[in-house]
Amino acid sequence: MQQLRRIALPKLIVVLSLISFLLPLQATGADLALASVSAVAVDVTDSQVLLEQNADIVLPIASITKLMTALVVLESGTDLDEWLTIEDWDRKTAKNAYSRIRLASSARRRDLLRIALMSSENRAAYNLALHHPGGFDSFVKGMNTRALSLNMRDTHFTDPTGLDVTNRSSAADLARMVIAAYQQPLLRDYSTTRQFTVNFKQPRYRLAYGNTNPLTGSDRWEVGLTKTGYLTEAGRCLVMVTEMAGRKVGVVLLNSLGTRSPLGDAGRIRRYLEAGTRSNVAKAALDHRAQVMQTLGLSVQ
């Protein structure tokens, strides 16, 4: 099976972070098994690649999309305290479009942004785009423009939720997005919020939300930014920034089997970077990865 190799940490850091994440990520070899089809770990301070696995494969990214949605909302300068009226989907949506938010009610833009990140609320993300200056199409165009500005050449967005399977990217590209998002304190705060209750009006009601990444509630992890994603076509996906080996490390994990698989991979990467320790991957997860690789016409060692 294909595996991962750790890259030796440099003694001197000479790359400026605002420039380095625009440069191509460096490829590595392999000696650590992971469940995810594609993975990369980078130092978010200097963009150094610490390890990777199939990082340039282009795959569906599901709700990892919402991290770019949040970047576009925040960088647009729109009023985060503005009350937005919740509208229904006006176009064909993919599966998993369930939402508890009532149509025609209103919520603040900042609250919709928070629950889109922490709880992957699809209707919240959709309405953030719908109420963007210029509307939905202008918003999606802005997502793709922002991706190009980050040198995300293998990335394309079709919608702001990730429900559309044509939202595609690579782990290498997403690492650049993670580094950019981590520069925004509000996105760090919102994405790692463990529990949050939104107050709606017209009519007045409240909805409680939890974080889709359970590691945000673990004392063993210091999560500084995160987003999860899932579609049948995308598998289980996870991006996050956390402490590993005394560094702030951005981790991107795409297409693994089972809700716990990307969390397990995050632990495998941390143990490997900190102690060189390797751990086993469940056979079902490895079989899933091999099947996806075969479908993509790629060899599995």
Q: Which of 120, 170, 191, 256 is catalytic?
A: 120
- 99 as an active site residue: the answer is no
Angle between helices 109-118 and 65-76 (to 10 degrees): 160
Type of residue found at 95: K
Q: Which of 20, 38, 47, 66 is catalytic?
A: 66
Type of residue found at 168: R
- 119 as an active site residue: the answer is no
Q: Which of 63, 119, 169, 261 is catalytic?
A: 63
- 120 as an active site residue: the answer is yes
Would you name the residues annotated as active-site residues?
Answer: 63, 66, 120
